[in-house]
A and B are shown apart, each in its own frame.
Chain A
Amino acid sequence: MRASISKSLPLILFLTGFSWAETIYDVSLDTSPLIGHPAGPFALEFQFNDGSGTGDANNVISISNFSLSGGKLTGPPQANGGASGDLSSLVTMTDSSFFNQYVEAFTPGTLMNFRLQITANVDSGGTPDEFSMSILDNSGSEIPTLGRGASLLIIDINSSNPIPSAFASDTTRSPHAGGFPISLSAPVVTEVGTSVPEPANCCLFGFVMLMLMWLSRNHSQNLTRWAAQKAASPFVTRRSQRLATGDTEP
């Protein structure tokens, strides 16, 4: 029965819509080069685009704890597709459309910080969901960077542990809005852990597990203990990751 339960786990997870973990990152960006630059005012732009092409909404991005040291959000927020919310509290983005975007203008301070939570359900078909971030100048174009599509941060959900890629600005090109090239360091992305599953999913998951346990008369004691531990513990401590600046595309 041990083997049958373990083999059933992926199915159970799928049926309950339960991602084993949401990875949490803290993102920090030195925005002091933007202060007073003639290409401003600036806007922060997030995209979360579906890889399956069908808008399957199998992943969720949450952006919270947003702060601008010495700066402020000037809004209003513009949300397209599966994006909603407000950076002053919480922004949620799902890949319910192919193209999902959140844009909000801001006055830069010295440092931009926010927390990013990202689920990791891998799309079939070979193209992953992708989260990206850029800063727009007053022409609506991105500040040139060394990243694909003028992005500062890209996370492809191509595994259960997606690896972020951060990029510095391209100091050889001026912004579309004019002015001298902007020198932005690559954002610092720190993985801080994973989150618990949603309560509803937790209950559903637990119910299914109990059903399997009831059906199984000879299940392994270790397996039961393992499952109980996962259900009870909110966090799994993981080693932090700090990415070097100037990374090119993976």
Chain B
Amino acid sequence: MKKAFTCLRFLFISFTFVRFCFPSFVNLLDAGRLRDASDLIVVAQVSNIVDGSGTIYSDPTTSYTGHQQTVSITLLRVLKGSITAESLDVIHFIPDAPSGSQEVEKGQLGIFFLSTLTDTAWAPADQDHFILPARPGAPSNAGSSDALLAELIQVIASTDASSTDRALAIASLRSISDAGVSASLKSVLSSSDPLVFWSAATALFAQADSDALSTVQSRLIQPFTASDAPYTQGLQAALRAESTNPKSLPTLAALLASANQEVRRGSAAAIATAGGPIAVSTLPGLLTDQDSQIQYFAVWGLGRTTNQPDQTPSYPEFQANRDKYILYWQSQFPISCAADVTSQFSVSRSGFRLDLSTGRFVQSVIISGSPASKGPFVLALDNLNSGLFLYRSDGTTSCASPSGSPYVIVSASETWQANGTVVLTLEFTDPTATGITYTPRILGGNANR
């Protein structure tokens, strides 16, 4: 594994020639790789930093200017390797140009991953990831029998640690399959810190954890808040990894009705990858989705599941001949959509009030009538202004045109009492106080919405 970190190799004691890489492309942050690459892993605190003179470092493809830096650290705990000294020096290279590698500062506490440089000097095992966060005290409850994992789990669990420290610790453990790590990630699913929450959630999804998926299902269905949005971009890839866990499939199917595009994409990709009966039952309904990637996953998944390679195009091929593939699969799996029964009801709406405690605009909708059609009935909000979201919607239409309309359940029963009335309270997330307009539509029956 050390060879994998070819970034830092000292060929001459005089340090006149160093190979390393620190571009914006850096080595993957992975605690397992760091551990394997390191001769010594310590929890330590930076006691002094001395900047050396400028120099040029080269590797086979380019060269960098920068300077050496000697970082003195005071050891607190040894996690790998052995050392009798209480402190040591680490020779570090600091490039002049911003390169993406994080520098350390005096007094900083962390986990240092070191390689032997000389008998008395050390170098970062990975120039890109010199240090990971740590807490001052040793882990009290062994979240893991592995010393390194226990330290990182402690950071994750510590609400005193910064969001970024906790997120870094989570990121470093992303590919580690360990019961203690998994438990630690699940424990922060109740965190109100969006960065910590989403880091843990995506890490658990990437490990195909069906419990985590069920736990956060409602949060995935609802529109993301402004504080969530910057941290949800990795959801699609993470959710797709859930395809390997059969227990996750029912939740993934429910998430197809999410108001969030990344969630729907990831769920569609996961179901398409999993194949089987759930793919055949859910993917046809996605052929009319507004999002072309979701349409693609429906086509690709059906092609794989039914073993029709000629109808299993690549994404570029699908984009070039979309109609051909959509029409083919629609002919193979004709679906019926829920009927528009709005004319059988009377729909009366109130005005809007901003509830200052929630930040959402609230509206009452009274639905009454004696419909001839059978339920269940949902109220869909067609042409809702972009940028607005219906809070706690029960799904988004994908079959009954127009698609992409959020809907709420009016009545889950097939029967509706004659002259019966249902009062709904709708809440809208409207961060810019844009005027809220929509056309109400009532869909009836058990068919696809």
23 contacts between A and B (CB under 8 A): A49-B352, A49-B354, A53-B385, A98-B352, A98-B434, A98-B435, A98-B436, A99-B354, A99-B433, A126-B347, A126-B349, A127-B437, A128-B351, A130-B350, A134-B356, A136-B356, A148-B350, A148-B364, A148-B425, A149-B353, A154-B350, A156-B351, A249-B423
Q: Which of A190-205 contact B (CB under 8 A)?
A: none
Say yes or no for B357: interface residue by CB 8 A criterion.
Answer: yes
**Residues of B close to A97: CB separation below 8 A:** 433
Give the most central of A127, A129, A141, A249: most B CB within 10 Å.
A127
**Residues of B close to A140: CB separation below 8 A:** 356
**Residues of B close to A151: CB separation below 8 A:** 353
Say yes or no for A52: interface residue by CB 8 A criterion.
Answer: yes
Say yes or no for A219: interface residue by CB 8 A criterion.
Answer: no
A-B contact count (CB 8 A): 85
With beta carbons under 8 angstroms apart, the residue of A53, A136, A149 that contacts B362 is A149
**Residues of B close to A121: CB separation below 8 A:** none
With beta carbons under 8 angstroms apart, the residue of A141, A148, A157 that contacts B353 is A148
Say yes or no for A55: interface residue by CB 8 A criterion.
Answer: yes
Q: Is the CB of A130 within 8 A of B351?
A: yes
Q: Is the CB of A50 within 8 A of B435?
A: yes
**Residues of B close to A128: CB separation below 8 A:** 349-351
Interface SS majority for chain A:
loop
Q: Is the CB of A49 within 8 A of B440?
A: no
Q: Which of A120-172 contact B (CB under 8 A)?
A: 125-130, 132, 134, 136, 140-142, 148-151, 154, 156-158
Say yes or no for A229: interface residue by CB 8 A criterion.
Answer: no
With beta carbons under 8 angstroms apart, the residue of A54, A142, A156, A158 that contacts B435 is A54
Chain B residue nearest to A127 (CB atoms) is B349
**A133 CB, nearest partner CB in chain B, Å:** 10
**B321 CB, nearest partner CB in chain A, Å:** 40
Say yes or no for A108: interface residue by CB 8 A criterion.
Answer: no
Q: Which of A57-72 contact B (CB under 8 A)?
A: none
Taken together as a complex, chains A and B put the C-alpha atoms of A50 and B423 apart, in Å, by: 21
Taken together as a complex, chains A and B put the C-alpha atoms of A174 and B353 apart, in Å, by: 21
Taken together as a complex, chains A and B put the C-alpha atoms of A128 and B351 apart, in Å, by: 5
Taken together as a complex, chains A and B put the C-alpha atoms of A158 and B364 apart, in Å, by: 13
With beta carbons under 8 angstroms apart, the residue of A99, A126, A134, A150 that contacts B440 is A126
Interface size class of A (residues with CB under 8 A): 35 or more
Chain B residue nearest to A148 (CB atoms) is B362
Q: Can you list, as one digit per residue, whether each of A32-52 has a CB less than 8 Å from chain B (1) or not (0)? A: 000000000000010101111
With beta carbons under 8 angstroms apart, the residue of B354, B433, B435, B437 that contacts A149 is B354
**Residues of B close to A45: CB separation below 8 A:** 356
Chain B residue nearest to A128 (CB atoms) is B351
Chain B residue nearest to A137 (CB atoms) is B357
Say yes or no for A2: interface residue by CB 8 A criterion.
Answer: no
**Residues of B close to A52: CB separation below 8 A:** 435, 437
Chain A residue nearest to B362 (CB atoms) is A149
Q: Can you list, as one digit per residue, whether each of B372-398 has a CB less than 8 Å from chain A (1) or not (0)? A: 000000000000010000000000000
Q: Is the CB of A49 within 8 A of B357?
A: no
Q: Can you list, as one digit per residue, whether each of A93-132 has a CB less than 8 Å from chain B (1) or not (0)? A: 0000111010000000000000000000000011111101
Say yes or no: A249-B437 contact (C-beta < 8 A), given A49-B351, A127-B352: no
Say yes or no: A51-B355 contact (C-beta < 8 A), given A98-B433, A98-B435, A249-B364: no
Q: Can you list, as one digit per residue, whether each of B395-438 has a CB less than 8 Å from chain A (1) or not (0)? A: 00000000000000000000000000001010000000111110
Taken together as a complex, chains A and B put the C-alpha atoms of A178 and B435 apart, in Å, by: 33
Chain A residue nearest to B352 (CB atoms) is A49
Taken together as a complex, chains A and B put the C-alpha atoms of A128 and B353 apart, in Å, by: 11
User: 12 new A-B pairs (CB below 8 Å) besides A51-B351, A132-B353, A142-B357?
Assistant: A53-B435, A55-B435, A98-B433, A126-B349, A126-B440, A127-B437, A128-B350, A128-B351, A148-B362, A149-B355, A156-B351, A158-B350
Say yes or no for B363: interface residue by CB 8 A criterion.
Answer: yes
Taken together as a complex, chains A and B put the C-alpha atoms of A51 and B351 apart, in Å, by: 6
Taken together as a complex, chains A and B put the C-alpha atoms of A127 and B353 apart, in Å, by: 12
Chain A residue nearest to B366 (CB atoms) is A250
Taken together as a complex, chains A and B put the C-alpha atoms of A143 and B11 apart, in Å, by: 71
**A74 CB, nearest partner CB in chain B, Å:** 19
Q: Is the CB of B357 within 8 A of A141?
A: yes
Give the most central of A126, A140, A158: most B CB within 10 Å.
A126
Say yes or no: A150-B435 contact (C-beta < 8 A), given A49-B351, A128-B351, A249-B423: no
**Residues of B close to A101: CB separation below 8 A:** 354
Q: Is the CB of B356 within 8 A of A49?
A: no
**Residues of B close to A126: CB separation below 8 A:** 347, 349, 440
Q: Can you list, as one digit per residue, whether each of B114-125 has a CB less than 8 Å from chain A (1) or not (0)? A: 000000000000
Taken together as a complex, chains A and B put the C-alpha atoms of A99 and B432 apart, in Å, by: 10
Q: Is the CB of A51 within 8 A of B352?
A: yes
